[in-house]
Amino acid sequence: MKYLYFPTLSSTNDYLKEHYLDLDYPTYCVTYNQTKGRGRTGHSWEASPNLNLALSVLFKVDDIKENITLKAAIAVTKALKNIIDLAYNIKWPNDILIGNKKICGILTEGITTKDAIYLIIGIGVNINQINFSKDIDDKTTSLKKETGKEYLIKDIEDEIINKLNFIINHYNDQLDVDFIKKHLYGMNKEISYHQGQEIKKGRIIDLKTNGELVIETENDIKNIRTGEITIIR
Ligand code: BTN
């Protein structure tokens, strides 16, 4: 395993994307001052200097398993629980919340060449930041925002790396569906979800080992692979 720490870096995912051919597998890339963090669907990932963790890991796989982001969410949830036991919820498919506020976002990216498949899992955890920009402040939290205490970023990083190593070494294992269902944001609740341009309504009733979410709609049961979930009630 290789470990790279940068005092400042534009994006840990971008660094690994640029250097994936020249690195060991796995390589962890870490900064506490990420200046151009990327989120899903072209969004940016906000983090004030030296208050939060940005960590990405690069590794090689034989095939892409869609459930890997949920496995990473399990790894981060368990790591955070070891630091402080709060009411963590996994928001399918790639966020961790405390209550209904986001503390962690995960961005998984794959690179397929003719010789191999590389995966990059990028994880941002809000740790000591208490003020976020106006448009996200009320839906965002951090360990410090929740508890009023400061945390050593390195302690959280070590726990996360430890748990991520396990999921990388067990890439072919079944997804721990029970763990996710216990922590699943919106489980058994009425939700709305995007499908293409449409917004549909339904109730989350189950999760499959491949990571698909099972939604009961008015006249159907649907398995969905990607999307954005909002709780209606
Ligand atoms: C999201 O919530 O949309 C995903 C956010 C992912 C942010 C992390 S921070 C470390 C890694 N580097 C990036 O540029 N993004 C991910």
Residue type at 177? V
Encode pLDDT of 89-130 as tens digits. 999 999 999 999 999 999 999 999 999 999 999 999 999 999
Looking at the predicted structure, is the pLDDT value of residue 195 above 80? no
Question: Of the residues 102, 107, 119, 127, which should be mutated to test ligand 1's pocket, given the most ligand atoms within 8 Å of the CB?
Answer: 107
**Pocket lining: 13 vs ligand 1, CB cutoff 6 Å:** yes
Q: Model pTM greater than 0.85?
A: yes
Beta-carbon-side half-sphere exposure of residue 223 (alpha carbons within 13 Å): 6
Evaluated on CA atoms 176, 177, 178, 182, the torsion sign reads positive
**Pocket lining: 43 vs ligand 1, CB cutoff 6 Å:** yes
How far, in Å, CA of 117 to CA of 58, rounded?
Answer: 11
Whether 2-181 and 186-232 share one fold: the answer is no
pLDDT value at residue 227: 84
Domain regions of the chain by residue span: 2-181, 186-232
Residue type at 220? D
- Place domain 2-181 in its CATH homologous superfamily: Bira Bifunctional Protein; Domain 2 (3.30.930.10)
Sort strands 198-207 and 2-6 into parallel, antiparallel or unpaired: unpaired
**Pocket lining: 75 vs ligand 1, CB cutoff 6 Å:** no
The owner of tokens 């506490």 is 32
Encode pLDDT of 170-182 as tens digits. 999 999 999 999 9
Tokens of 199: 């917004």
**Pocket lining: 53 vs ligand 1, CB cutoff 6 Å:** no
Q: How high is the mean pLDDT of the chain?
A: 96
Looking at the predicted structure, is the pLDDT value of residue 233 above 80? no
Q: What's the gap in Å between 197 CA and the centre of ligand 1?
A: 24
Give the three-state DSSP class for 217: coil
Encode pLDDT of 133-156 as tens digits. 999 999 999 999 999 999 999 999
**H or E stretch at 120:** strand 117-125
Q: What's the gap in Å between 116 CA and the centre of ligand 1?
A: 24
Question: Which segments within 13-86 are labelled E, that is strand?
Answer: 27-31, 37-38, 44-45, 53-61
Residue bearing the CA closest to ligand 1, atom 2? 105
- Percentage of the chain beyond pLDDT 70 is 100
What is the CATH T-level fold of the domain 186-232, as seen in this structure? SH3 type barrels. (2.30.30)
Question: Of the residues 27, 32, 45, which should be mutated to test ligand 1's pocket, given the most ligand atoms within 8 Å of the CB?
Answer: 45
